[in-house]
Structure 1
Amino acid sequence: MHIPNPLEKRSPVLSFKEALAQSMEPVHDYDPGQWLYVPCAYTDYRYILGTRGQRPLICVGINPSTAAPNALDNTLCSVQRVALHNGYDSFIMFNVCAQRATRPQDMDRDCDPYLHQENMAAFRYILSLSTETPAIWAAWGTIIQTRSYLPRCVEEMIAIGEEYGAKWFTAGARSKKGGHPHHPLYLKKDSPLDPFDPQAYLESLTGKVTATV
């Protein structure tokens, strides 16, 4: 389990560019030719975790937990199975918020502007990796309601996705209340991907979010 450290004890946040460069150095306990892991060491935040390929499925959760290369948790194992079943050669796990917290209720009450900015830089990067139209799997569940700034982060991601012509999907039944995308953990490995309109979904969320990001 990862419980966020107090603010004064947290690791300094590297820019995505700096963290990406470090992750490509051949000095880690994982193969950078196989894994995409940014930052490349366990810390209080994570931009990206996934496998390398020409046709990745980009799965979007809310925030990272403890998974790392060669040590995927149950959620990431499910993500990998669903990606491979649907014809993708790799998966990339991205999150609306980059702060590590096994329990979403432990996330910071307010959005960290710098971490958010660099997380969006990471999102642009992974969209650029696809040799075809980028495929984004919305998989954040009802957890998006945990913090008021999360829908605003998704709104920015939708706009970035439009720049790259990305297509959005969900897997499994959406929640009856709010139509939230299904979380990957309890999905069957042969779950198909269904088209998803993230803008319509965002507009349907109850209440207006006023927090800035």
Structure 2
Amino acid sequence: MNKKYPLYKCDLGDLHRYLMGEDINDNDEIIICIGVNPSTANKEKLDPTLARLNNYCKLYREPNCKWVMFNLYSQRATNPDGLDNEIDNEKYKESIKTFKKFLSHRKTENTIILATWGCLIKKREYLLKCLKNIYNSSKNYEWKCIRMTKGGHPKHWIGAKYPDELQEFNVKNYLDKFKTKNS
């Protein structure tokens, strides 16, 4: 039987997913995972990336650890090469509005933001701009990653071993290192 995921927001055709996650209570530890873009997960089933996040929360964290998934860009694509060549500003504004609204109801002390986009962030120049806006909305939160890739990006869930401890992730330094001409 598939579990329902009550935190779910998408556009009318479910071509853009803005938010997906478990039911959350005030005392839960929350891991907000930030990936590049949604793949096939929906309110009734997980894709491989979210299955790994779910397993990590259940097996390696506190019993009351819950997860929520946001992405740098909300467009669904099983391959990030299929992302829009130019940002869809209307969809992006809805995405960042959803992120800010979710954070407005969260305590910083029991919430971790987990960076997991890997080198996929290099697929489109606008993804760094999306990250900058997400970071500017969440500077007071603790940012972490599984580990860093050889190229200096936070490791994606797929292919990563479950970490005993998450590593600190300095988003400001990362943005400074990889900023684009138009940032």
TM-score (norm 2): 0.87
Report deviation, 1:41: 7.0
Q: Check 1:71–1:40 CA distance in 2 against 1; reply closer, same or farther (3 A cut).
A: farther
Deviates more, 1:52-61 or 1:127-136: 127-136
The answer to whether 1:210 aligns with 2:182 is: yes
What residue in structure 2 maps to residue 158 of structure 1? 135
Other structure's SS at 2:21 match:
strand
Other structure's SS at 1:151 match:
helix
Q: Check 1:78–1:110 CA distance in 2 against 1; reply closer, same or farther (3 A cut).
A: same
What are structure 1's unaligned runs of at least 5 residues? Answer: 1-28
| Correspondent of 2:149 among 175, 180, 183 | 175
What residue in structure 2 maps to residue 201 of structure 1? 174
Other structure's SS at 1:161 match:
coil
- Count of residues in correspondence between the two structures: 176
CA contact (8 A) 2:108 2:142 kept: no
Other structure's SS at 1:142 match:
helix
What residue in structure 2 maps to residue 118 of structure 1? 94
The answer to whether 1:98 aligns with 2:63 is: no
Deviates more, 1:133-142 or 1:91-100: 133-142
Q: Distance in 2 between matches of 1:53 and 1:145?
A: 32
Residues 1-213 of structure 1 mapped to structure 2, 5 A cutoff: 31=4, 35-39=6-10, 43-54=14-25, 55-84=29-58, 85-87=60-62, 89-133=65-109, 134-162=111-139, 165-171=140-146, 173-177=147-151, 179-205=152-178, 208-210=180-182
Q: Distance in 2 between matches of 1:210 and 1:146?
A: 16
Q: Distance in 2 between matches of 1:128 and 1:80?
A: 23
Q: Distance in 2 between matches of 1:186 and 1:101?
A: 19
Report deviation, 1:123: 0.9
Other structure's SS at 1:210 match:
coil
Give the fraction of aligned pairs with identical amino acids, expressed as a percent: 29
The one-letter amino acid of 1:52's match is D
Select the structure of larger CA radius of gyration.
1
Q: Distance in 2 between matches of 1:69 and 1:188?
A: 26
CA contact (8 A) 1:148 1:209 kept: no
Deviation digits for residues 111-160 of structure 1, max 9, x if unmatched? Answer: 11111111101111222343443310000000000001110111111110
The one-letter amino acid of 2:137's match is I
Q: Distance in 1 between matches of 2:43 and 2:15?
A: 16
Q: Distance in 1 between matches of 2:76 and 2:45?
A: 16
Q: Distance in 2 between matches of 1:192 and 1:80?
A: 16
Report deviation, 1:202: 1.0
What are structure 2's unaligned runs of at least 5 residues? Answer: none
Pairwise CA RMSD: 2.1
Q: Check 1:61–1:104 CA distance in 2 against 1; reply closer, same or farther (3 A cut).
A: same
Q: Distance in 1 between matches of 2:130 and 2:181?
A: 11
